[in-house]
Structure formats: C-alpha cells, structure tokens
Structure 1
Amino acid sequence: MTVIANEGEAQAWLRDVLGVDAAAMERLARLATLLIEENQRQNLVAKGTLSHVWQRHVVDSAQLLGIVPRGTMPQGAWLDLGTGAGFPGLAIAALEPARAVTLVDSRRLRTEWLARAASQLGLQNVTVVLSRVEDLPTQLYSVISARAFAPLDKLLHLSARFSTPQTLWLLPKGAKAAHEVEELPASWNHMFHVEQSLTDPQAGVIVGTLVGQDRAKTKSSMRHTRDLGEVRGAKR
C-alpha cells in the first residue's frame, strides 16, 4: 500500500479515491482553517503537524471510510471517543452530514471548541458530550472510533457496552496496533485485524467487530494471575 506523502496527495486521495464531492471538500478545508486558528489559543494538535494538516489529520480520519469495502460500511450512529481536536469524529461528520455522530471528550475547552466548529461548519448531525467514557449512559452505536485514546484492552472494558456484534470498530493506532490485538486477553471474543495506515508507514488501524466477553475466561485468568503471585510470594 502506498503511503500518502504530502498535502497534494492527501487532497487527491480524498477526491479521486474516496470520491469526496466539492461541498465536503469545502467543509474539510474550513475545518482545517478553524483548527489552525484555534490551535493558537489552545494546544489541540502538535504545532509541527499543522503544515500538513490534510495528511496528518484529515486523511488520517477519512481513511476510516475507505478501509471497509464500498457499500458495506454500517449505516447508523457513530460514536467517537476521546475526540480531542475533532479527529476522526468531526472530520467524519463533515464527510457524512446525514450520519449522526457523537463526539465525546472529558476536557471542557475541547468540547467547547468541537461545538463551535460543528456550528461554523453547519453540521447539524453532531452531538458533543462533555464526559468521561465511564460516565456515559449506555447506548448502542453502529460504528465506534477512537484515535489513540487508550490501549485496546482498556478501551474495550470502558466501551464494549456501546457495541453489538454488528458494530464496526475503527481504531487508528500507532506502531503497536498489531501487538495490542495479539496481547488482547482470550476472554474477549472478537474479530479484529490491523490495516496499514495511509498516512504513516509505522501505524495501523484496528478494524473489526466485538462479540463480547467470556466472563468464565476472565475469572480463570484472574485466578491464574493471583495464583502466580502467591507462588512468587512464597519463594521470596
């Protein structure tokens, strides 16, 4: 897979591969401008990434729509956890204005920015929630995303209750994406795999569905860990 290397390639990919129309491209351009302006007031993203905002933030988010085959992306509400500066959730909302997108972040300044940005982009499909994930009321979603929000095991413990076996998880990660899937406890019944990121040759996107958690395996694992600790304690 060819990795997008610059701003021109990023915008070309959006138009030519993802098929983004002129109206959506204009919304994305406006989002990029708003981000750069707001970043002077609060540290939304690393300043060094602003010179290639289309590559590092816009396409890094938009690629989630191109990972699954055309026509198979689940329709329905999208939940983006730990949204921060609005990626991927706000970019997804700009690309799919007919889809309900809920953006969750626990920092007030970030949620105030998200609400302002959504309003200035004319996005009526966006709901911004100031909350920790633990405190969110349980609701089911068709798609769940989180961009480097938490290690996979912790993320599932926090948010599996928002998922059905049909919910698609799209989780942009760094270089340890495959390792996180491999290290996931056997108690999680899942169908996760890793796709190469379009914007970083070292990064991956965890993709798949979650059936649920086998409580018996969880208890067995906890007993095994406790027994090992007791044996090690006895040897000291």
Structure 2
Amino acid sequence: MTDRSALQTKLEQGIDALGLALPDAAVPRLLDYLALLERWNAAYNLTAIRDPSEMVIRHLLDSLAILPYVKGQTLADLGTGPGLPGIPLAIAAPGRQILLVDSNGKKVRFLREAIRALKLEGVRVVQSRVEDVEGQFDCVTARAFASLADMLTWGGHLLAPEGLWLAMKGKTPDDEFGGVPPEFVVHCTHALAVPGLGSAERHLVILGRAGDDRTARPRT
C-alpha cells in the first residue's frame, strides 16, 4: 500500500500546479475519500484504477481541474460512479448543494457510506437513470458519461435556465458538436492540464441553454 505521506505530497503538488487554494481540511479529507475508495474497490470493483498514486492523478486531480469553472449553489453530477468529480468538488469547495446520480447499486451504496464517513454536508445521492431525475441545477457535471447528444437528451432538463453544463472529455469531441440538441449551445472548450497525466488529453466542454450567450470564464 502506498504511504499516505507520499500520496499527500503528490496531491499537494498537483493542487499547487493547478493553481488552486483549498480549505485547510481539504487535503486530508480527499485522502480519506481515496482510502475509502481503495478499500471498497477491493471488494466491489468500483474503478479499474487500483494504484492509489494513479488514483490521485486520474481521480482527484482530474476532478479538481474543473473547479475554476464550477458555478452556482447547486450541482448535479451525472453518472458519478464512485463520486467523480462530485465528491472531490464537494470537499474542495464546501457549501454547495450537490446531487450525485448513478444507476449502479454497488456504487450508490459506496457513495452513501462516503457521504456518512466523510460527513459531507449538502451532498446526497440518488440511484436512478438520469432521465428520471427531477429538479434543476446551476451546474451539471458529467465525466466520461456519454456523448454530448445523449447526455443532453437524457439530462438536459436538469440544467437551470442560466446554468452551465460541464462535460469532461478526453480528446476534443469535434465529432459530437453537430449532435448537440438545438436548445443547447456550446460556449467554449478548454484544454485541461492535469498534473501527472503526461500526454493523455483532457478537455472540458462548457455548454448552456440556447439564448444564454455568455462566454463561460474561470473564476478569478
């Protein structure tokens, strides 16, 4: 098992490289989440990534890379799996109401335990298909969940009128832009530099409802 101090160093260096300033308790809580995920993963196969050091990069830092683009007081994380990016975002920027959505029972059981064990206030989970979820949210996140067309067709009703949809992708999904439903618009695409990821590409596609033509910009 990787030494926790080594994981902490890797995580802190990555957070610095991303230019983020997190609450004092965020790093130990992120590591507690990682330890819980590692334990459950041994029995329930929640993620294909087994090495905790790789989890720091591909789960924690990958999720935190979109933090500057998250807005509003409510967020829905669709197809969250073991809580990515929703739980790292909840730990890094507490105070937001976050709904984690997944249809997989094993993953939802893990999420409920994570919310309890980590005392994540304002975070709740629902086991459901995305199209059956109700409510509207200032921000919607989706990490490797589906094509832009499918995710907006299934979950577009969850986006508030002036909300932002943050779709986390690998390569720029140029072949998907033509399938975006007409009631939505692509604001912009950002290349994300995830520390430690090497040559692997990460992009964030920011969408909103048609008629809301603001350019989405990172928080300053």
Q: String of CA shifts for 1:132-167, please: whole Å, max 9, x gaps.
A: 112212x11000001111100011111111113411
CA RMSD of aligned residues (A): 2.2
Q: Distance in 2 between matches of 1:176 and 1:14?
A: 24
Taking every aligned residue pair, what percent have the same amino acid on both sides? 29
Q: Contact 1:76/1:100 (CA < 8 Å) preserved in 2? A: yes
Distance 1:163 1:32, change over 3 A: same
> Cα offset for 1:78?
0.4
Q: Contact 1:111/1:129 (CA < 8 Å) preserved in 2? A: yes
Q: Which has the larger radius of gyration?
A: 1
Higher strand share: 2
> Cα offset for 1:198?
2.1
Letter in 2 for 1:11: E
User: Match of 2:44, SS?
Assistant: coil
TM-score by length of 2: 0.82
> Cα offset for 1:185?
4.6
Higher helix share: 1
Q: Contact 1:177/1:205 (CA < 8 Å) preserved in 2? A: no
- 2:39 maps to what in 1? 37
Structure 1, unaligned stretches of length 5 or more?
1-5, 213-236
Distance 1:129 1:12, change over 3 A: same
- 1:54 maps to what in 2? 56
- 1:106 maps to what in 2? 103
Letter in 1 for 2:186: M
TM-score by length of 1: 0.77
Q: Contact 1:177/1:203 (CA < 8 Å) preserved in 2? A: no
- 1:233 maps to what in 2? none
Q: Distance in 2 between matches of 1:191 and 1:18?
A: 26
Structure 2, unaligned stretches of length 5 or more?
1-5, 212-220
Q: String of CA shifts for 1:18-42, please: whole Å, max 9, x gaps.
A: 1013201111111111111111011
Q: Which runs of 4+ in 1 moved over 4 A?
A: 6-10
- 1:175 maps to what in 2? 171
Letter in 2 for 1:24: A
Q: How many pairs does the alignment contain?
A: 200
